[in-house]
Amino acid sequence: MRTRIRLVAPLAMAVALTAACGESGSSGGGNGGSGNEGGTASGEACAPVAGDQLVVLEDDENLQNADNIVPAVTAATAEANPALLPALNAVSEALTTEQLIELNAAVDLQRESAEAVAAEWVEESGVTDGLEQGSGTVVVGGANFTESTILANIYAEVLDAAGFDASAREVGSRDLYLSALVEGAEIQVFPEYLSTVTEALNTRVNGANPEPVASGDVEETVAALEPLAAEVGLVFGEPSEAADQNAFAVTQEFADELGVSTLSELAEACGDGSLILGGPTECPTRPFCQPGLEETYGLEFESFRELDAGGPLTKAAIQQGEVSVGLVFSSDGALAQG
């Protein structure tokens, strides 16, 4: 399982569950399906249902912070190379979460190389058509997990097509690569995650434990990021629709049986506290996990099963019908439609 980057601490899979939560929203109305339109299903109907295909329930009240993929560039590099950001923005415009899932699946499940997968996506997407041309050497950094490696290679492929001499290089923890990116000597570009990097820069600029400024709203988070980036000498391109953030999954069979596709609909269908939640040890106390589901959506749970943070234990427990719903990551290759 790949190591993930989440808020505050670098390369720590469970950190996504440790960030402070904003104001809770109110759950929306859905319909319960299975003959329970507008009503609540029984505990038996909301019991876990085994199945091979996992599906993410839409976070329709924006409980999670928006961690859309966004290109980060050393400001001096962007200023000296006006064709660079438009090339990276072309990637953002084309890349979707569904494609990111497929790219991760190709590497993690089908054992293809990240370089080959990236090159194929660039060729098939048409993102290099009509790019403004630049020149010069550019090094794209990537963290040591599948998704970041794929994205770094996609960026490098597209920059090559835009006339740059681009390469991808694996780097270390966020503390190391963020400093290297700011300095611009070893790496000049990095595929980042919108809310995660916003809070990392918030801490860098404002000291430990600042008031969080990222949220589930992409535009508001971008507005919060821009002055922080300017403070340290970075610029960011356009965020992609593709996002990798905390999500809650069920089996396709469970979703079909209840007729649910959103967390609000799940709350309406299973409001009697019969659900079993699976996730990491911290989930019952972390605002983006069980407390957030309870406060934002009004969900109630019969029990919690301690597993892992979006890893193989949680996914297996959902598939085997041991938990009703579990925490995953929204771009996990395991979510690829089989």
Mind listing the pLDDT tens digit for each residue in 38-90? 444 445 779 999 999 999 999 999 999 999 999 999 999 999 999 999 999 99
pLDDT reported for residue 172: 83
pLDDT reported for residue 173: 83
Mind listing the pLDDT tens digit for each residue in 176-188? 899 999 999 999 9
Question: Per-residue pLDDT for 326 more than 80?
Answer: yes
pLDDT reported for residue 34: 37
**CA–CA distance, 15 with 4 (Å, rounded to integer):** 9
Buried b (16+ CB within 10 A) or exposed e, 293-326: bbbbbebebeebbebbbbbebbbbbbbebbbbbb
Strands in 189-193's sheet, in edge-to-edge order, are 165-170, 137-142, 189-193, 69-74, 234-236
Mean pLDDT of 116-132: 97
pLDDT reported for residue 42: 46
**CA–CA distance, 5 with 251 (Å, rounded to integer):** 26
Residues 32 and 40: beta-carbon distance below 8 Å:
yes
Residues 137 and 143: beta-carbon distance below 8 Å:
no
Residues 31 and 259: beta-carbon distance below 8 Å:
yes
Q: Is 143 exposed, middle or buried (0-12, 13-18, 19+ CB in 10 A)?
A: buried
Question: Per-residue pLDDT for 304 more than 50?
Answer: yes
Q: Is 126 exposed, middle or buried (0-12, 13-18, 19+ CB in 10 A)?
A: exposed
DSSP secondary structure code for residue 126 in this structure: T
In sequence order, what are the beta bridge partners of 251? 54
pLDDT band per the 50, 70, 90 thresholds, residue 264: very high
pLDDT reported for residue 105: 98
**CA–CA distance, 53 with 86 (Å, rounded to integer):** 37
Mind listing the pLDDT tens digit for each residue in 5-27? 332 233 333 333 333 333 323 22
Q: Is 226 exposed, middle or buried (0-12, 13-18, 19+ CB in 10 A)?
A: middle
- Alpha helices by DSSP H, the chain: 75-80, 84-94, 97-108, 114-125, 146-161, 174-183, 194-206, 218-232, 252-258, 263-269, 290-297, 312-319
Cα 34 to Cα 37, 96, 142, 274, 327: the distances in Å are 7, 31, 45, 16, 24
What structural domains and CATH numbers belong to the chain?
13-64+245-335 (3.40.190.120), 69-236 (3.10.105.10)
**CA–CA distance, 68 with 52 (Å, rounded to integer):** 27
Mean pLDDT of 274-286: 96
